[in-house]
C-alpha cells in the first residue's frame, strides 16, 4: 500500500479548512489557532508553508489568485481541487477507522523504568500524578467555558478524548506506584542492578 503523498496531519487540517472556502496560508494558520485545533494538530508556520507547497505539487489544492492588498506581502489564495476533496475524505476515514501504532513518551519512560531505583521511581511517579491532575483540571475548565459560549459538543470531543486518556493514565500510575513500593520488588531490583556494587 503506497503512502500518502503528503503525510503531515497539518495537511489534513489545510484540506479541511479549504473545504469551507478558499484562503491563503496565513489565514489557515490563524483559524487553526483560533479554534484551538492546534492542541491536537501540531502547528508551526514553517511546516504550514511546506505542506501547502506539497499539497500543491500533489494536485490536492491549486492557487486561485494572488492578492496584493498593498501594504501586506502578497498573499496567494488556494482552493481545494476535486482530488483534494477525495483525499480529505479518504484520509479521514482511515484515521477514524484504523488505529495506528504510536510511541507515546511515557511508554518510552516505562520501557526503561528499570534503571531507576524503586523508591525514586515511585516518588517521580507521584509528581506525575499531580501534573496529570493539573492538566485534567485545565481541560475541564476550557471545555466548560467553551460550552457556555455555545460551542457544539462535536467540536470538543478531542478534549474529552484527552481527558479519557489522562484519567486512564492516572489510574495506571496510581497502581504502578503501589507495585513499586512492594518490598519484594525493591529486593529484586537490588539483586539485578547492584550485583557487585554494594
Binding site for its own copies (CB under 8 A): 9, 12-13, 16, 19, 37, 39-42, 88-89, 92-93, 95-116, 120-121, 124-125, 127-128, 131-132, 135, 152-155, 157-158, 160-162, 164-165, 167-169, 171-172, 176, 179, 185, 188-189
Shortest distance in whole angstroms from residue 51 CB to DNA: 6
Cell of 136: 485534567
Residues with Cβ within 8 Å of residue 79, at least 6 apart in sequence:
18, 22, 61, 62, 64
Report how far Cα 105 is from the mean position of its chain's Cα atoms: 12
| Phi/psi at 28 (5° precision) | -60, -45
Shortest distance in whole angstroms from residue 159 CB to its own copies: 9
Cell of 189: 531490583
Q: From the list DNA, its own copies, none, which binds 1 (C-beta under 5 to 8 Å, kind-based)?
A: none
| Of 75 and 128, CB closest to its own copies | 128
Would you give the DSSP letter of residue 3? P
E strands in the chain? 61-67, 75-80
| Of 40 and 47, CB closest to DNA | 47
* Cβ atoms of 62 and 56 closer than 8 Å: yes
* Cβ atoms of 75 and 23 closer than 8 Å: no
Q: From the list its own copies, DNA, none, which binds 131 (C-beta under 5 to 8 Å, kind-based)?
A: its own copies
| Of 40 and 76, CB closest to DNA | 76
Dist CA 32 CA 10 (whole Å)? 10
List residues binding DNA (CB under 7 A).
7-8, 24-27, 30, 42, 44-47, 49-51, 54, 69-76
| Of 63 and 167, CB closest to its own copies | 167
Shortest distance in whole angstroms from residue 17 CB to DNA: 13
| Of 22 and 75, CB closest to its own copies | 22
Amino acid at each position: 500500500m503506497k503512502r500518502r503523498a503528503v503525510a503531515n496531519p497539518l495537511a489534513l487540517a489545510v484540506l479541511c479548512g479549504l473545504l469551507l472556502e478558499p484562503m491563503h496560508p496565513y489565514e489557515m494558520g490563524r483559524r487553526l489557532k483560533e479554534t484551538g485545533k492546534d492542541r491536537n494538530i501540531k502547528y508551526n508556520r514553517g511546516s504550514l508553508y511546506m505542506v501547502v507547497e506539497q499539497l500543491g505539487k500533489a494536485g490536492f489544492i491549486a492557487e486561485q489568485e494572488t492578492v496584493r492588498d498593498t501594504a501586506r506581502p502578497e498573499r496567494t489564495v488556494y482552493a481545494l481541487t476535486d482530488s483534494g476533496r477525495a483525499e480529505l475524505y479518504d484520509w479521514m476515514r482511515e484515521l477514524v477507522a484504523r488505529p495506528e501504532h504510536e510511541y507515546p513518551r511515557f511508554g518510552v519512560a516505562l520501557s526503561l523504568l528499570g534503571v531507576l531505583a524503586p523508591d525514586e521511581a515511585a516518588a517521580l511517579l507521584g509528581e506525575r500524578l499531580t501534573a496529570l491532575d493539573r492538566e485534567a483540571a485545565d481541560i475541564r475548565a476550557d471545555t466548560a467555558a467553551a460550552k457556555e459560549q455555545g460551542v457544539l459538543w462535536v467540536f470538543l470531543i478531542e478534549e474529552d478524548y484527552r481527558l479519557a486518556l489522562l484519567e486512564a493514565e492516572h489510574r495506571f500510575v496510581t497502581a504502578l506506584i503501589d507495585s513499586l513500593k512492594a518490598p519484594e520488588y525493591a529486593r529484586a531490583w537490588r539483586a539485578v542492578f547492584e550485583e557487585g556494587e554494594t
